[in-house]
C-alpha cells in the first residue's frame, strides 16, 4: 500500500508539472521555428554538431551551459543580455564573473552567420546548446521552442541571483518571481548534478566558521564528508580557496542523473542552498521523490524548458545580433 501511494503521488506530481508546462511560455515561440529559414541548413543540427565536438574534448561544458542558462534567464528573461561585453553589463556583475562557455556560443553564432546571416538569435543559441549538452551528458532528449530575439539592454545593476547560502524558502521565493513552482526550483537545482564550486565558497559557511563561530562546522554536513573536505580538499589555508569541489559524487559529476538528490538525503550537499532543500519540510518531500524514483530524467528537461521561456522577446521585439557579445 505504501509503495502504491508513492507511485500515485509521483504520477500526480508528474502530471501537475507537465500541465503547468503546457500553459507556460510565449505563444510566438515554436518548435522548429528555423525550419526553412537557413537555406538547406538545419539550424538545430548545426548547433548540435558544434556542441558535440566541444563536449568530446571538454565534458564540463554541460555545467557551464546550464549555469549560463540560469544566470541568463533569471535576469530580465532569456534575452542574450548576459553575453554582452563592456563596462556595466550583466557579464561584469559579481555573480557572473565565473560564468563560462561564452566562446562556444560565439563559435556557434559565427558558423550560423556564415550560413544564414541575421537569422538565428543568440538567445536561441544558448537554449539549444544547453539542451544538446544535457543530452550528451546522459540527460533525456527534449524539444525546445525557438523564435527568441535578443534584447538591446544589459545592465549589471539588474543582476540579482540567489546566494549559495539561501534557505529553501528564499530559493523557492526567487523562482516564484520567475513564474516557476517550488517543484521547478528543486528540479532546477538538480543541475548541480554536474556542477562544481571552489573551497573559498564553503570554507566559512560550512567548514570553519559556521554561524560566524571560529572553528565551527555546519552540523547539517555529514561528519565524514566534513572530515574529508577539511583534511584533503579544503584545508584551512588561503592556498586552498581555489580548489575544486564537485557538487555531486565525483564519479557522477559529469552525468545528468538523480544522484545529487541522494547526496542531499545523506547530508552530503555541498552548498548550503542545496542541503537546505532537505532541511526544510516543504521541499524535503520533493527531494525524496526525485531521489527514490526515476522521475528526474523526464522532469528535469521540462523545468529547463519552462526556465528557457521566461520573459522572452519574439516577433518584432529586440534584434537578431550579428555578434553575440555586442549590440548591432
Distances (CA, A) of 109 to 40, 52, 105, 122: 17, 15, 6, 7
Position 10 pLDDT exceeds 70? no
Domain membership of residue 172 (yes or no) is yes
274 vs 263: CA distance, rounded Å: 10
Q: How far apart are CA 287 and CA 191, in angstroms?
A: 13
Q: Is 44 annotated as a binding residue?
A: no
Given 101, 135, 156, the domain boundary residue is 156
Asked whether residue 146 is marked as a ligand-binding residue, the answer is no
CATH of the domain at 255: 1.10.420.10
What pLDDT, on a 0 to 100 scale, did the predictor assign at position 13?
Answer: 53
Q: Which domain holds residue 232?
A: 166-305
Residues in the chain: 328
Residues 140 and 173 in one domain: no
Is 90 one of the annotated binding-site residues? yes
Question: What Rg value do the Cα atoms of the chain yield, rounded?
Answer: 20
For residues 143 and 114, state if they share a domain.
yes
Mean pLDDT of the chain: 93
The annotation status of 79 as a binding-site residue, yes or no, is: yes
Q: Is the pLDDT of residue 24 over 70?
A: no
In a domain, 5, yes or no: no
Query: Contact 142/301 with Cβ under 8 angstroms?
Result: yes
Mean pLDDT score, 58-70: 98
**What pLDDT score does 15 carry?**
44
| Region 112-122 average pLDDT | 98
Cα atoms found within 13 Å of the Cα of residue 326, Cβ hemisphere only: 4
Q: Which of 233, 238, 205 is nearest to 219 (CA)?
A: 205
Set 67, 71, 267, 306: catalytic member: 71
Q: Is residue 226 located within the same domain as residue 108? A: no
pLDDT of residue 7: 52
Over the stretch 145-187, which tens digit does the pLDDT of each residue have?
999 999 999 999 999 999 999 999 999 999 999 999 999 999 9
pLDDT at 20: 53
Same domain, 290 and 197: yes
In a domain, 301, yes or no: yes
77 is in an annotated binding site: yes
If asked whether residues 136 and 193 sit together in one domain, one would say no
Q: Tell me: the pLDDT tens digits for 81-109?
A: 999 999 999 999 999 999 999 999 999 99
pTM (two decimals): 0.93
Does residue 280 sit in the same domain as residue 181?
Answer: yes
User: Is 71 in the active site?
Assistant: yes
Q: Give pLDDT tens digits for 190-235.
A: 999 999 999 999 999 999 999 999 999 999 999 999 999 999 999 9
Amino acid at each position: 500500500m505504501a509503495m502504491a501511494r508513492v507511485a500515485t503521488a509521483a504520477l500526480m506530481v508528474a502530471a501537475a508539472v507537465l500541465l503547468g508546462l503546457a500553459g507556460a511560455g510565449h505563444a510566438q515561440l515554436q518548435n522548429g521555428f528555423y525550419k526553412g529559414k537557413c537555406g538547406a541548413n538545419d539550424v538545430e543540427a548545426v548547433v548540435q554538431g558544434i556542441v558535440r565536438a566541444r563536449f568530446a574534448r571538454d565534458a564540463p561544458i554541460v555545467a557551464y551551459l546550464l549555469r549560463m542558462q540560469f544566470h541568463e534567464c533569471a535576469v530580465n528573461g532569456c534575452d542574450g543580455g548576459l553575453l554582452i561585453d563592456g563596462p556595466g553589463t550583466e557579464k561584469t556583475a559579481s555573480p557572473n564573473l565565473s560564468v563560462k562557455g561564452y566562446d562556444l556560443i560565439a563559435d556557434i553564432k559565427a558558423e550560423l552567420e556564415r550560413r544564414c546571416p541575421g537569422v538565428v538569435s543568440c538567445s536561441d543559441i544558448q537554449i539549444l546548446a544547453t539542451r544538446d549538452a544535457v543530452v550528451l551528458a546522459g540527460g533525456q532528449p527534449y524539444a525546445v521552442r525557438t523564435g527568441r530575439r535578443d534584447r538591446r539592454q544589459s545592465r549589471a545593476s539588474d543582476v540579482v541571483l540567489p546566494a549559495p547560502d539561501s534557505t529553501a524558502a528564499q530559493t523557492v521565493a526567487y523562482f516564484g518571481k520567475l513564474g516557476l513552482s517550488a517543484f521547478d526550483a528543486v528540479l532546477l537545482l538538480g543541475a548541480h548534478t554536474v556542477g562544481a564550486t571552489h573551497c573559498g565558497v564553503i570554507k566559512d559557511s560550512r567548514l570553519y566558521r559556521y554561524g560566524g563561530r571560529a572553528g565551527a562546522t555546519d552540523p547539517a554536513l555529514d561528519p565524514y564528508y566534513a572530515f574529508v573536505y577539511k583534511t584533503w580538499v579544503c584545508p584551512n589555508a588561503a592556498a586552498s580557496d581555489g580548489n575544486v569541489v564537485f557538487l555531486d559524487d565525483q564519479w557522477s559529476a559529469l552525468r545528468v542523473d538523480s544522484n545529487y538528490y541522494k547526496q542531499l538525503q545523506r547530508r552530503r550537499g555541498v552548498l548550503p542552498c542545496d542541503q537546505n532543500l532537505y532541511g526544510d519540510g516543504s521541499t524535503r518531500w520533493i527531494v525524496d521523490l526525485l531521489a527514490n524514483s526515476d522521475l528526474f530524467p523526464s522532469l528535469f528537461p521540462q523545468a529547463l524548458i519552462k526556465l528557457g521561456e521566461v520573459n522572452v522577446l519574439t516577433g518584432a521585439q529586440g534584434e537578431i545580433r550579428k555578434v553575440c557579445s555586442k549590440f548591432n
